[in-house]
């Protein structure tokens, strides 16, 4: 179930938001600590869906600062009015008189960490007589989510286990797979009652929350930062369109990506996309890598094959196909189109390595330009290319210019990595940035008479290849691109 907390502060505003929430969620939570003087009888008499009544004290992360007797009196009133649920804290549950049909959620909140003895805490809540046990705790390490899932897996008691903060999003999405009783999600951005809540419409529509079950396969994106990634929207749309029982979630891995991959093997994750800064550092976590990864030294795709983690790189074929299409169309000159072409590549990270190695194998003559000279020179030496300082790229005459850096990405949309003087008519300009869909670099390239390859095209091509490797099905590219454009606000 999806539950939307109502954090409005007047009876009329609460009633209005209850009805709005009922169109999205299965039940709502009336947070009386935000509005202790609200007319509870009126709200319950006209409720459009089941409700949880909560009055959270400051000591447990709520807003109520009055006398404890007054706070518990509000909850007792909810019981007397036959609310479907009341939520009361473990340390005061014995002071609540139960009755009628009201079920009691006994809860504990920790806004600083994941409690060290999570099993013991859960057992204490169950022993208190809870109809539903609830623990909400701050996730400070992505692997703390695994501890929540272990409790859900072992218990048969109705339980809500939620990780707070950005790193806890994993628990909010995947908890349903392991039997989480419900998840809290906000009515809209800015209406959260706890850190890490996502809008309920996003949880329902993008992640397909109600479709997640014990047999749902897990895929995900490893990266940092990751909050604004388009991959979850695109991949979940692809799974939904193709009828695949799977969900794709963002994993923000800040440190030790190898440790993360090893720890999450217990989750039977079916595949990963990998983005910055982990395309190279994740390699030691693989059991096998293919020849492309061996040559490039970076991967963007992880698959499970016979119980083994296998790394590959779909950036390479996607980039080459996009460039060949720009040079001659899908039925054009093919791989020979790149032979002998002069190419300027801006950047020296994982994406740059993928493009550079692929182009080198096609016979292109490559120049690498990078902000950090040492890294740029190292990549140039590895592929037999020439290095050019970033402030000298105007001296390079290139048939193809490829930007693999984040320069020009939202919100810094007025920046460009390439001076306009470099943009010569007839050249192909390829920008890996896809947000915005037309960067300043691409706009100026178009105005200068260049052919352009957008980051959207590269992104969809590499994502489609990932989907096909994972599922063995043709990728629904149109559905994937529609999802990307909708997420970018450009349907």
Domain containing residue 179: CATH number: 3.20.20.70
Place of tokens 């330009």: 369
How far CA 253 is from CA of 196, 270, 306, 322, in Å, comes to 16, 18, 25, 30
Q: Is there a contact between 466 and 433 (Cβ–Cβ < 8 Å)? A: no
Query: Is 138 part of a structural domain of the chain?
Result: yes
Mean pLDDT calculated for residue range 459-476: 97
Query: Is 73 part of a structural domain of the chain?
Result: yes
Quickly count: other Cβ atoms within 10 Å of residue 204's Cβ.
Answer: 17
Q: Is there a contact between 36 and 69 (Cβ–Cβ < 8 Å)? A: no
Q: Which of 33, 108, 279, 431 is catalytic?
A: 279
Q: Is there a contact between 55 and 33 (Cβ–Cβ < 8 Å)? A: yes
Is 210 in the same domain as 68? yes
Q: Check residue 334 and give its pLDDT.
A: 57
Q: Which residue has the higher pLDDT, 236 or 490?
A: 236
Q: Is there a contact between 153 and 147 (Cβ–Cβ < 8 Å)? A: no
Is 306 in the same domain as 339? no
Q: How confident is the model at residue 351 (pLDDT cuts 50, 70, 90)?
A: confident
Residue 331 has pLDDT above 70, yes or no: no
Q: Is there a contact between 233 and 484 (Cβ–Cβ < 8 Å)? A: yes
Is 330 a known active-site residue?
Answer: no
Q: Which of 108, 134, 177, 278 is catalytic?
A: 134
Q: Check residue 336 and give its pLDDT.
A: 79
Question: Residue 408 maps to which CATH number?
Answer: 3.40.50.720
The separation between CA 339 and the C-alpha centre of its own chain, rounded to angstroms, equals 38
Query: Is 415 part of a structural domain of the chain?
Result: yes
Rounded to the nearest integer, the mean pLDDT of the chain is 94
The total of structural domains in the chain comes to 3
Is 26 in the same domain as 146? yes
DSSP 219-249: EEEEESS-TT-SHHHHHHHHHHHHT--EEEE
For the stretch 165-178, pLDDT in tens is 999 999 999 999 99
Q: Check residue 330 and give its pLDDT.
A: 45
Domain final position from 158, 180, 214: 214
User: Any idea what DSSP says for residue 186?
Assistant: B
> Largest Cα–Cα distance of the chain, in whole Å?
82
Residue 329 has pLDDT above 70, yes or no: no
Phi, psi of 357 (to 5 degrees): -65, -40
Mean pLDDT calculated for residue range 157-162: 98
For the stretch 212-242, pLDDT in tens is 999 999 999 999 998 888 999 999 999 999 9
Is 191 a known active-site residue?
Answer: no
Is 467 in the same domain as 448? no
Domain final position from 214, 245, 266: 214
Question: Residue 479 maps to which CATH number?
Answer: 3.40.50.10860
Is 157 a known active-site residue?
Answer: no
Q: Check residue 350 and give its pLDDT.
A: 82
Which is it for the CA torsion 294, 295, 301, 304, positive or negative? negative
Mean pLDDT calculated for residue range 238-262: 97
Q: Check residue 328 and give its pLDDT.
A: 79
Query: Is 220 part of a structural domain of the chain?
Result: no
Place of tokens 């009515």: 187
Q: What tokens does 420 get?
A: 């306009």
Mean pLDDT calculated for residue range 296-307: 92
Residue 288 has pLDDT above 50, yes or no: yes
Q: Is there a contact between 25 and 9 (Cβ–Cβ < 8 Å)? A: no
Q: What tokens does 2 get?
A: 């999806």
Q: Which of 33, 87, 109, 141 is catalytic?
A: 109
Query: Is 80 part of a structural domain of the chain?
Result: yes
How far CA 143 is from CA of 59, 169, 214, in Å, comes to 27, 12, 20
Query: Is 67 part of a structural domain of the chain?
Result: yes
Q: Check residue 491 and give its pLDDT.
A: 59
Residue 486 belongs to what H/E stretch? helix 477-487
Is 48 in the same domain as 102? yes
Which is it for the CA torsion 3, 8, 9, 10, positive or negative? negative
Is 247 in the same domain as 297? yes
Q: Which is it for strands 428-431 and 308-312: parallel, antiparallel or unpaired?
A: unpaired
Q: Check residue 384 and give its pLDDT.
A: 94
Mean pLDDT calculated for residue range 107-119: 96
Q: What distance in Å separates the CA atoms of residue 377 and residue 390, rounded to the nearest whole number?
A: 12
Query: Is 224 part of a structural domain of the chain?
Result: no
If 0-12 CB within 10 Å is exposed, 13-18 middle and 19+ buried, where does residue 88 land? Answer: buried
How far CA 438 is from CA of 54, 193, 456, in Å, comes to 47, 36, 9
Query: Is 43 part of a structural domain of the chain?
Result: yes
Q: Check residue 394 and give its pLDDT.
A: 92
Q: Check residue 99 and give its pLDDT.
A: 81
Is 156 in the same domain as 237? no
Domain extent for 435: 333-453
Lateral strand order in the sheet of 132-138: 159-164, 132-138, 103-110, 85-89, 51-54, 27-31, 2-6, 183-184
Q: Check residue 276 and give its pLDDT.
A: 86
Phi, psi of 199 (to 5 degrees): -60, 140
Is 137 in the same domain as 78? yes
Q: How confident is the model at residue 208 (pLDDT cuts 50, 70, 90)?
A: very high
Q: For residues 61, 65, 67 and 72, what is the CA-based torsion angle, rounded to 10 degrees?
A: -40
Is 341 in the same domain as 273? no
Residue 428 has pLDDT above 90, yes or no: yes
Residue 333 has pLDDT above 80, yes or no: no
Q: For residues 451, 439, 323 and 384, what is the CA-based torsion angle, rounded to 10 degrees?
A: 110
Q: Which of 33, 87, 141, 315 is catalytic?
A: 315
Quickly count: other Cβ atoms within 10 Å of residue 237's Cβ.
Answer: 23
Is 187 in the same domain as 248? no
Q: Which is it for strands 301-305 and 271-274: parallel, antiparallel or unpaired?
A: antiparallel
The separation between CA 188 and the C-alpha centre of its own chain, rounded to angstroms, equals 18
Is 205 in the same domain as 61? yes
For the stretch 38-94, pLDDT in tens is 999 999 998 999 999 999 999 999 999 999 999 999 999 999 999 999 999 999 999
Q: How confident is the model at residue 332 (pLDDT cuts 50, 70, 90)?
A: very low
Is 253 in the same domain as 287? yes
């Amino acid at each position: 179930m999806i539950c939307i907390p109502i954090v409005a502060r007047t009876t009329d505003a609460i009633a209005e938001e209850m009805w709005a929430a009922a169109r999205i969620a299965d039940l709502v939570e009336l947070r009386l600590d935000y509005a202790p003087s609200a007319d509870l009888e009126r709200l319950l008499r006209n409720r459009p869906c089941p409700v949880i009544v909560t009055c959270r004290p400051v000591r447990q992360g709520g807003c109520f600062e009055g006398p404890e007797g007054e706070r518990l009196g509000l909850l007792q009133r909810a019981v007397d009015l036959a609310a479907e649920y009341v939520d009361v804290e473990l340390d005061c549950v014995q002071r609540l008189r139960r009755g009628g049909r009201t079920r009691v959620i006994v809860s504990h909140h920790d806004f600083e960490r994941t409690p060290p003895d999570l099993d013991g805490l859960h057992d204490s809540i169950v022993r208190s007589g809870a109809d539903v046990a609830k623990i909400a705790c701050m996730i400070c390490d992505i692997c703390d989510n695994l501890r929540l899932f272990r409790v859900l897996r072992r218990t048969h008691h109705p339980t809500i286990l939620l990780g707070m903060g950005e790193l806890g999003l994993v628990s909010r999405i995947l908890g349903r797979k392991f039997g989480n009783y419900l998840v809290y999600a906000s009515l809209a951005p800015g209406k959260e009652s706890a850190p890490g809540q996502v809008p309920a419409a996003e949880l329902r529509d993008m992640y397909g929350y109600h479709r997640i079950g014990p047999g749902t396969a897990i895929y995900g994106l490893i990266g940092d930062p990751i909050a604004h990634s388009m991959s979850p929207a695109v991949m979940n749309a692809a799974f939904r369109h193709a009828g695949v029982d799977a969900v794709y979630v963002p994993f923000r891995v800040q440190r030790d990506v190898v440790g993360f991959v090893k720890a999450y093997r217990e989750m039977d994750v079916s595949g990963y996309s990998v983005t910055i800064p982990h395309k190279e550092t994740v390699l030691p976590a693989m059991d096998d890598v293919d020849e492309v990864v061996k040559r490039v030294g970076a991967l963007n795709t992880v698959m499970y094959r016979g119980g083994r983690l296998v790394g590959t790189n779909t950036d390479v074929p996607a980039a080459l196909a996009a460039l060949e299409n720009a040079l001659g169309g899908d039925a054009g000159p093919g791989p020979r189109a790149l032979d002998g072409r002069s190419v300027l590549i801006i950047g020296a990270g994982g994406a740059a390595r993928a493009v550079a190695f692929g182009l080198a194998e096609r016979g292109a003559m490559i120049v690498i330009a990078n902000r950090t000279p040492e890294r740029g020179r190292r990549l140039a030496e590895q592929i037999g290319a020439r290095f050019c300082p970033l402030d000298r790229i105007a001296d390079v005459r290139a048939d193809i210019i490829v930007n693999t850096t984040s320069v020009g990405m939202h919100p810094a949309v007025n920046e460009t990595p390439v001076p306009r003087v470099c943009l010569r008519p007839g050249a192909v300009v390829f920008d890996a940035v896809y947000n915005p869909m037309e960067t300043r670099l691409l706009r100026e390239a178009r105005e200068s008479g260049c052919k352009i390859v957008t980051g959207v095209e590269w992104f969809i091509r590499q994502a489609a290849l990932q989907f096909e490797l994972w599922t063995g099905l043709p990728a629904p590219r149109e559905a994937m691109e529609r999802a990307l454009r909708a997420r970018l606000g450009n349907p």
